[in-house]
Chains A and B, each alone.
Chain A
Amino acid sequence: MKEFLLLFRGGDDNRIAAQQSPEKWQQHMMKWKSWMEALGKQGKFLSGQPLAQGGSVIRGGKKVVTDGPFVEGKEIVGGYLMIKARDLGEAVDLSKNCPIFEFDGTVEVREVQQLEM
């Protein structure tokens, strides 16, 4: 079993629109629950959190701090999940049920690299 990071990007406009209607928002969040529960029951879920908008970026040797947003809207990271999967193929398959696609967001799947010394 390998570990993968799923990075969620974009979909903010659709999400904000859905939040205007409590029912729609609740329905959407129940889909997250079903998806994550399914991962959990297969023993594939590790952790994950949604992220607040905004933040800061610290750059360079001088550690210059700038406030976000740092990139274009659809590139903003909105949350992450850590999961377990056999290989990249399975991790991609597991990601296809992610509710972020309802909001036209994207999922980037990255394997955790084991660093040797």
Chain B
Amino acid sequence: MDSRSGSPWSSEVDHLFRHEAGRLVSILTRIFGAHNLALAEDVVQEAFMKALQDWRLGPLPRNPSGWLLATAKNKAIDAVRRNKHLTEFAEDVSYLLKSEYTASSTVNELFLDSEVADSQLRMIFTCCHPKLAPEIQLALTLKTLSGFGIEEIARALLVSKETINKRLYRARQFIRQQNIRFEIPAGDQLSRRLDMAYTVIYLLFNEGYNSSSSDELIRGDLCAEAMRLCLLLSEHAIGEKPKTYALLALMCFHASRFESRLGGAGEIILLQDQDREKWDRQLMRQGEMYLVKASEAEEPSQYHIEAAISAQYCLAPDFAHTDWRLIANLYDALLVMTRSPLVKLNRAVVLSRIHGPRVAIDEIKQIEGITELASQHYLYNAVLGQMYLEANEPAQAAAYIERAGALTSSPAEKRLLRKKLSRASGVDGADGS
């Protein structure tokens, strides 16, 4: 065990490694080919091990990122020489890597700054390959693009380490067997593949924003990673699209409220009770800027409308002055694009602000498959409980809130529900925790 583990030095190095890992694995996969993803990850680990050895005794080098890049480049050339009789590398450069006349210059070129963003984009499209299951896409993205360790991914996605290992194994096997190319899709493929990347990025963001994981730190990291990947897309000619900006805007508006969602004791604070002073003005301004860029779209996407809704919540001077009718109209537009029951649930809550809780309750009960949804997901029960509470039907409210409590594993949610339950039973505001 390194005597410096747990020290500021070690956390600085951990942070650096995680930050650099995605970039380096992308460059190396560009060189070795997607079928050699495991080799790319091994070589990056070798570079990190060398850094740990060399840096152990002294201060960090002046430019640690540059040091790691140079070391990874040397290790890449070593790996090419070691493996050239065993494997083909990336199709377009394999023969150049196998000759000493061209191996070094080819590796050098692919390590140039101008190639790095391109390699990361190829990695985004590989991780978001439409033939991979969503949960595998998420795990693979976090591992290869975001440099998360197995344990961190497991904590972030609320599954065991074995499950994550299995998913990553299946992903690498699939890429090898299906001969998935490490490329940026072109032509007709591109817009479909971009949509897939948006879905994964949004899923990643939602995992961070809404997941029931109690680990705040890792939730923040997930949101930040989703935003970084979307920004990467937006900075490349092929991803510079209104939809990319709409998704960025949406995430900025949501993220601006990230800090005010939880109180000091980790309890959830509802929108109406949030301290608007804590909202991140800079993120809100960025959100507005991206929304302007997004408006060049010929027709709005789901992300456009969701961003517009989130903007309305952010830009209202206070909760009472929120323009509920406009938001309800936006939800109507959203419903035309997606029949998602979650959208219907959110729309019902908005309708309750205009027409009262009864209307909302009716709307929720008309959601297709509501009985089954409510038997599995706490959120439908929590919202129904809240609506009955507002409709002055404490007995009904208590029943739904109790069921919601049984269906969530999040301590913060449980605390919020207990608070509501005590209100339902007339002990106003008393918090059991």
Contacts and interface: CB of A to CB of B under 8 A. Distances in A.
Interface of A: 26, 29-30, 32-33, 36-37, 40, 45, 47-50, 79
A45 B100 CA distance: 14
Contact of A48 (B99, B104, B105, B109): B99
Contacts of B98: 47
B106 to A, nearest CB: 7
A36 B96 contact: yes
B95 A29 contact: no
B99 A29 contact: no
Contact of A40 (B96, B104, B109): B96
Contact of B104 (A29, A47, A49): A29
B100 A33 contact: no
A36 B105 CA distance: 12
Contacts of B101: 29, 32-33, 36, 48-50, 79
Contacts of B392: none
Contacts of A37: 96, 102
A37 B98 CA distance: 12
Nearest to B102: A33
Nearest to B108: A26
B102 A36 contact: yes
Interface in B108-141: 109
Interface string B177-188: 000000000000
Interface of B: 95-96, 98-102, 104-106, 109
A33 B106 contact: yes
Chain B residues touching A, majority SS: helix
Nearest to A46: B95
A16 B98 CA distance: 23
Contacts of A32: 101-102, 105
A22 B285 CA distance: 48
Contacts of B106: 33
B95 A40 contact: yes
B95 A33 contact: no
A48 B98 CA distance: 8
A47 B96 contact: no
Given A33-B106, A49-B101, 19 more contacts: A26-B105, A29-B101, A29-B104, A29-B105, A30-B105, A32-B101, A33-B105, A36-B95, A36-B96, A36-B101, A36-B102, A37-B96, A40-B96, A47-B95, A47-B98, A47-B99, A48-B101, A49-B99, A49-B100
Contact of A50 (B95, B100, B109): B100
A26 B102 CA distance: 11
28 contacts: A29-B101, A29-B102, A29-B104, A29-B105, A32-B101, A32-B105, A33-B96, A33-B102, A33-B105, A33-B106, A33-B109, A36-B96, A36-B101, A36-B102, A37-B96, A37-B102, A40-B96, A45-B95, A47-B95, A47-B98, A47-B99, A48-B99, A48-B101, A49-B100, A49-B101, A50-B100, A50-B101, A79-B101
B347 to A, nearest CB: 56
Contacts of A36: 95-96, 99, 101-102
Across chains A and B, which 10 residue pairs bring their CB atoms closest together, nearest first?
A33-B102, A32-B101, A33-B105, A29-B105, A48-B99, A40-B95, A49-B100, A50-B100, A36-B102, A50-B101
Contacts of A30: 105
Residue of B96, B99, B106, B109 most packed against chain A (CB within 10 A): B99
B299 to A, nearest CB: 41
B125 to A, nearest CB: 24
Nearest to A48: B99
Contacts of B102: 29, 32-33, 36-37
Nearest to A79: B101
A37 B102 CA distance: 9
A29 B105 CA distance: 7
A33 B98 CA distance: 12
Nearest to A31: B105
Nearest to B109: A33
